[in-house]
Structure 1
Amino acid sequence: MNDVVLLSEDVRKASVSNEPIAAYDQLRQACPVIHDRHLHWTLLRHKDVLALLNDHQTFSNAVSRHLSVPNGMDQPEHTVYRALIEPYFNQERLSAFEPVCRQIAVNLVKQAPKNREFEFIEDFARVYAVQVQCAYLGWPESLQASLVQWVRKNHQATQAQDHQAMSEIALEFDGYIRSLLAARRQAGDQAPDDLTTALMRETINGELIPDEVLVSILRNWTVGELGTIAACIGILVKYLAGHLKLQHQLRYKPKLLPAAIDEILRIHPPLIASRRVSTKAVTIAGQKIEAGERLTLLWASANRDETVFGNPDVFQPDRDPSLNLLYGAGIHACPGAPLARLELRLVMEELLRDTSRFSLGENISPVHAKYPAGGFDVLPVKLFVETCCGSCS
């Protein structure tokens, strides 16, 4: 227990450091399970995190005081809602959405500043995340500006751990969803034929889904998607800006992008952690954990575990994909992973297609997001395009 006592504040310190990923690496090598008064029992090794993900009897997902469908549920309730949700991310829906998503990426890349430095997270990544999510759900374009502002406010409140502001901002988002549901009910048969309307018409045990459950489902889809997609795009652009040979290769061989994207996001995870609660006493890496204790699964450490991946910073896209915990594992693996992969592939294809190269800006340094957010708060970028010399007319 001495290691736990000595390191009890180090998880929190690592989380708010300037280089949190490197700090997690050091912690993992020093002590695989750490008790922290902020994050409780924190697991840093790949094998321990994977074991918890696959043991949903011993470790419960019901960790929040608020309704969270389905990721905050356990079996058998989780199974029911998971079966309802998964078809919304099937290949038929994704194929229909792909041209819409690509056009959003095309438009944003064309509109982005060229040959000069600009703030990439605020002015591109978050805008793309909001636009594609609204398009997928069938939400009106008039809502996009409000959602971009909401994402900014939510991020700032989360970073500051301002719980009152976080609660108020959460209620604001729920208000957006309830207004959308009310508008569709008022429209009746004339309601838009989109994913949100389809979800409203679903039933469980012959009964329409109550509004509180609809709001929870749509909140989880949207809030998670907005922050994570923006973080992923920032990480990908930052990495490729620093690896020009790989950037060049992917520009001319876009078929390599899917594996490359997953590997880059393993090297620099966009998702920092998730939570569980123990349902019975258990021992992990020699540490006795009692029933009812909270645990933090530190993705940002587990997906870089050198005992699984060797040197975690080595780019190796042909790794066994089952080892990559980017989208989780077990019954709670992210149901929206196919959609996320599509959105990331398309935006990276268009960024690479419409530029000759991109690099980091020179005037401001990138700033890592702090726990619980991943990626970057600030990312100055230059998108370069070739300009005609005037002699090719």
Structure 2
Amino acid sequence: MNPPAHQPDWNPRADDVQHNQIRAYDEVAGRCPVAFSEMLHWSVFHHADVMRVLLDPVTFSNAVSRHVAVPNGMDPPEHTAYRRAIEPYFSAQRVDAFEPACREIAAALAQALAGGGEVEMIAAFALPFAVRAQCAFLGWPETLQASLTQWLQKSQAATLAQDRPALAALALEFDGIVAGLLQARQQAGAAAPRDLTTALMHETVNGARMSAADITSILRNWTVGEIGTIAAAVGILAQWLAEHGDVQAQLRENSALVPAAIEEILRMHGPLATNRRVTTCPVDLGGRSIGAGERVTIYWTSANRDGHVFEQPDTFRLDRDPSENLLYGAGIHVCPGAPLARMELRVALQALLSATTQWQPAAGGGAVPAVYPASGFSSLRLLVQ
């Protein structure tokens, strides 16, 4: 269904928006909390409006694509059944068991940076940490890391260019990667590695074994989502702390503050820019009338910078109410991998703090903002000591 004609309130692709996404979103939120654009249709910025969308999956459906995404692109009751099946994979027990391996990955990468002078943090630490950690969590071989990194970079470029043929080809390429992993485990039989990917092959939903297509969709979601957001988050943390040496020193002195500091820094600049929904019926939101079948985009970081909820939202504070922070979402689609992500980010930042004495921006500045739909930085040059 085509949306009704509306006068655009803003242009998400404008140069001034891309130059500083966070400030641009703040500006639009201040004058038009629910804004229309030709590119995205309806964009939702205020915390209260975002929460309304998140807590009403009947009106705001997650089934936004003709390609089914398991389970994040589903609505209840289908979503409920798949969600029940995957949540145990992110249990405290499983995350705790994985932490030593994650620490080893982070420590090796961080130690390679120590005393290295100028470092491009995304390529040298953030992205390889995210890729290696996710491969280790899924039980994928180290030999897959380079090709997976290349696939992610091509996928990000195609997404940015809105190159649908390239995205379709990349989806098939990823399907081939997963098919090879599943086939190897099937052939191994009882000798297959006892890892998460093997376990998924034996998972059931509503009494039936999950299909290869279901497993591939889940693994694509976990791989693209986890690696992209973890890499972006590490870059954001490194950049903010480079600009705030006093907090960096505080965290070195008291590592117990690291988890809260991560949540607060990523509240101010989140690693995931947006998520989409589609309306199932006409609805009024933020003073705007939205028809059925229209696209709605929620802006996580803007909601987390809403001054109605977070006093002085640009100010770093460790005493904020964590329940208001939408870093991992809310409602039935709250990120199931949040426990894993929190552990990985804590481990990564602790490794960087332990292996170095300080880091600061490179001469002349070295932070190149990512372009929507990405968040964070595409490049980040830091002086590491």
Q: TM-score, normalised by structure 1?
A: 0.94
Is the deviation greater in 180-189 or in 149-158? 149-158
CA distance in 1, matches of 2:207, 2:331: 28
CA distance in 1, matches of 2:180, 2:194: 17
Q: What does residue 141 of structure 1 align with? A: 142
Kindly state the Cα deviation for residue 227 of structure 1 after the two structures are TM-superposed.
Answer: 0.6
Q: What does residue 108 of structure 2 align with? A: 107
Deviation per CA, 1:330-386, whole angstroms, max 9, x where unpaired? 0000000000000000010010011110111115531110111010001001220xx
Q: What does residue 66 of structure 2 align with? A: 65
Amino acid at match of 2:242: A
Amino acid at match of 1:372: P
Kindly state the Cα deviation for residue 8 of structure 1 after the two structures are TM-superposed.
Answer: 3.0
Amino acid at match of 2:128: V
Deviation per CA, 1:84-127, whole angstroms, max 9, x where unpaired? 00000001101110101001111111122624112111221110
Q: Is the 8 A contact 1:130 1:144 kept in 2?
A: yes
CA distance in 2, matches of 1:279, 1:209: 28
CA distance in 2, matches of 1:38, 1:21: 18
Is the deviation greater in 228-237 or in 114-123? 114-123
Indicate how the Cα distance of structure 1 residues 37 and 201 shifts in structure 2: closer, same or farther if over 3 A, else same. Answer: same
Q: What does residue 300 of structure 2 align with? A: 299
Kindly state the Cα deviation for residue 286 of structure 1 after the two structures are TM-superposed.
Answer: 1.6
Is the deviation greater in 344-353 or in 171-180? 171-180
Q: What does residue 31 of structure 1 align with? A: 32
Q: What does residue 225 of structure 1 align with? A: 226
Q: What does residue 194 of structure 1 align with? A: 195
Indicate how the Cα distance of structure 1 residues 15 and 86 shifts in structure 2: closer, same or farther if over 3 A, else same. Answer: farther
Kindly state the Cα deviation for residue 153 of structure 1 after the two structures are TM-superposed.
Answer: 1.6
Q: CA RMSD in A?
A: 1.5
Kindly state the Cα deviation for residue 16 of structure 1 after the two structures are TM-superposed.
Answer: 4.7
Deviation per CA, 1:275-298, whole angstroms, max 9, x where unpaired? 111111111122111111111111
Q: Which 5+ residue runs of structure 1 have no aligned equivalent?
A: 385-393
Q: What does residue 330 of structure 1 align with? A: 331
CA distance in 2, matches of 1:311, 1:220: 34
SS in 2 for 1:288: strand
CA distance in 1, matches of 2:177, 2:113: 28
Kindly state the Cα deviation for residue 7 of structure 1 after the two structures are TM-superposed.
Answer: 4.5
Amino acid at match of 1:323: E
Q: Is the 8 A contact 1:15 1:371 kept in 2?
A: no
Deviation per CA, 1:224-247, whole angstroms, max 9, x where unpaired? 011100000000000000000100
1:1-393 pair list within 5 angstroms: 7-13=8-14, 16-112=17-113, 114-363=115-364, 365-384=366-385
Is the deviation greater in 11-20 or in 303-312? 11-20
CA distance in 2, matches of 1:345, 1:286: 40
Amino acid at match of 1:24: Y
Amino acid at match of 2:215: L
SS in 2 for 1:227: helix
SS in 2 for 1:297: strand
CA distance in 2, matches of 1:371, 1:344: 23
CA distance in 2, matches of 1:361, 1:60: 44
Indicate how the Cα distance of structure 1 residues 363 and 176 shifts in structure 2: closer, same or farther if over 3 A, else same. Answer: farther
Q: Is the 8 A contact 2:89 2:196 kept in 1?
A: yes
Deviation per CA, 1:138-195, whole angstroms, max 9, x where unpaired? 0001101111212222222222222222222222122111110111001111100001
Amino acid at match of 2:280: T
Is the deviation greater in 106-115 or in 54-63? 106-115
Kindly state the Cα deviation for residue 5 of structure 1 after the two structures are TM-superposed.
Answer: 5.3
Indicate how the Cα distance of structure 1 residues 114 and 174 shifts in structure 2: closer, same or farther if over 3 A, else same. Answer: farther
CA distance in 2, matches of 1:38, 1:250: 41
Is the deviation greater in 59-68 or in 200-209? 200-209
CA distance in 1, matches of 2:243, 2:269: 13
SS in 1 for 2:174: helix
Q: Is the 8 A contact 1:16 1:370 kept in 2?
A: no
Q: Is the 8 A contact 1:184 1:192 kept in 2?
A: yes
SS in 2 for 1:304: coil
CA distance in 2, matches of 1:168, 1:123: 28
Kindly state the Cα deviation for residue 217 of structure 1 after the two structures are TM-superposed.
Answer: 0.6
Amino acid at match of 2:204: T
SS in 2 for 1:12: coil
Kindly state the Cα deviation for residue 6 of structure 1 after the two structures are TM-superposed.
Answer: 5.6
Kindly state the Cα deviation for residue 221 of structure 1 after the two structures are TM-superposed.
Answer: 0.6
Kindly state the Cα deviation for residue 209 of structure 1 after the two structures are TM-superposed.
Answer: 0.8
Q: Is the 8 A contact 2:8 2:38 kept in 1?
A: no
Amino acid at match of 2:313: P
